[in-house]
Structure 1
Amino acid sequence: MKEIIAIVRMNKTGATKKALVDAGVAGFTAFKVMGRGQLVDDPAIVAERKAKMMALAGADEQDAEMLIDGFLDGHRLFPRRLFTILAHDEDADTIIEAIMAVNRTENGVGDGKIIVVPMLDAIRVRTGESGEEAV
């Protein structure tokens, strides 16, 4: 048994849910979380992301620029969605591929993380089943 933890962009939540259902996942849990990944050192990528974010910001450019700089320099956290999925060992690769397929972008940064953890046990509260039967 495996626990698959996926941290994805907020705008990829719907696509991720659909991909999980299409992959045959019986159930999953999703949380709104805040976090950040590794800082991007490439000034060209940072400048491109800042320009795109400023174009979307609209109203008060000074406040928007301060927020955007905070995101890009690591002082602020990004909103993300965290999915937890319990899976049989033989289903884990299919689920991981489904998550990766819908979350990979051409942005070069921030597509998320997938963490796979072995599970010792699972128990279905309603029936008391444990182990593989509970997944």
Structure 2
Amino acid sequence: MKEIIAVIRMNKTNDTKKALIKAGAAGFTAFKVMGRGKLVNDESIIMERKNRLLKLAGDEEADTEVLIDGFLTGERLFPRRLFTVLAKDEDVKGIVDAIIAANRTENNVGDGKIFVLPVMDAIRVRTGETGETAV
């Protein structure tokens, strides 16, 4: 039995929920979280992102460029969604593949991370069942 933890973009939440259901995940939990990944060192990607974000923001706020620079330099955190899924060993690959398919973009950065961890036991509170039958 494994726990799959996926940290994804907020705008991919619905796609991920649908993908997990279609992949046969027994259930899952989602949390709103804040974080950042590895900083991008490619100046062309950084400038392209900055220009795109500035264009989206328009002239609404004077501090917009400062905020965007903070995101791009790692000083600020991005809102993300964290999914946690318990799965039987034989179901892990299908679930991970579904998460990847739902979240991969052409942005070259920020598509998320997936972690797969062993689970020692699970207990269904209602019935007391343990192990894979509790999942």
Q: Which amino acid aligns with 2:127?
A: T
Q: Structure 1-normalised TM-score? A: 0.97
Residue 52 of structure 1: CA displacement?
Answer: 1.0
Matches within 5 A, 1:103-122: 103-122=103-122
Q: Which amino acid aligns with 2:121?
A: D
Is the CA contact (8 Å cut-off) linking 1:54 and 1:61 kept in structure 2? Answer: no
Q: 50-59 or 92-101: which moved more?
A: 50-59
Q: Deviations over 1:20-58 (max 9, x none)?
A: 001111210000000000000000000001111111112
Helix, strand or coil at the partner of 1:62: coil
Helix, strand or coil at the partner of 2:93: helix
Aligned to 1:5: 5
Q: 56-65 or 105-114: which moved more?
A: 56-65
Q: Which amino acid aligns with 1:81?
A: R
Matches within 5 A, 1:1-135: 1-135=1-135
Question: Distance in 1 between the 2:60 and 2:17 partners?
Answer: 34
Q: Structure 2-normalised TM-score? A: 0.97
Residue 61 of structure 1: CA displacement?
Answer: 4.8
Helix, strand or coil at the partner of 2:62: helix
Question: Distance in 1 between the 2:28 and 2:121 partners?
Answer: 16
Question: Distance in 2 between the 1:101 and 1:88 partners?
Answer: 20
Question: Distance in 2 between the 1:6 and 1:27 partners?
Answer: 14
- Unaligned runs of 5+ residues in structure 2 are none
How many aligned positions are there? 135
Question: Distance in 2 between the 1:102 and 1:15 partners?
Answer: 6
| Root-mean-square deviation over aligned CA pairs | 0.8
Helix, strand or coil at the partner of 1:132: helix
- Give the fraction of aligned pairs with identical amino acids, expressed as a percent: 70
